[in-house]
């Protein structure tokens, strides 16, 4: 499903710099990056590591000529 999981959900072990390195160090055409905006099951889930990393990730991807798209969910009946 995805090519890169920078483990942004692992707030204790995944610093902003590790997230940036994990993504920008594994660039491939048509890659899918699995990012998380927080856990709905955990109140006050920290996500500052991802929020801090995103400007560098976006700038790095744009500098390398990448563009951003959304992925439409595939229904089970269309496979």
Give the tens place of pLDDT for each residue, 5-57: 777 777 777 889 988 998 899 888 888 888 777 655 566 667 788 889 999 99
Domain ranges in the chain are: 16-78
Cα separations in angstroms, 31 against 1, 44, 46, 48 = 10, 30, 26, 24
**pLDDT at residue 53 in the model:** 92
């Amino acid at each position: 499903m995805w090519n890169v999981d920078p483990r942004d959900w692992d707030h204790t072990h995944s610093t902003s710099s590790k997230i940036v390195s994990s993504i920008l160090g594994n660039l491939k055409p048509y890659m899918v990056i699995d990012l998380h905006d927080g856990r709905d099951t955990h109140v006050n889930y920290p996500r500052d590591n991802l929020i801090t990393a995103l400007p560098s990730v976006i700038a790095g991807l744009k500098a390398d000529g990448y563009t951003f798209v959304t992925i439409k969910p595939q229904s089970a009946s269309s496979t």
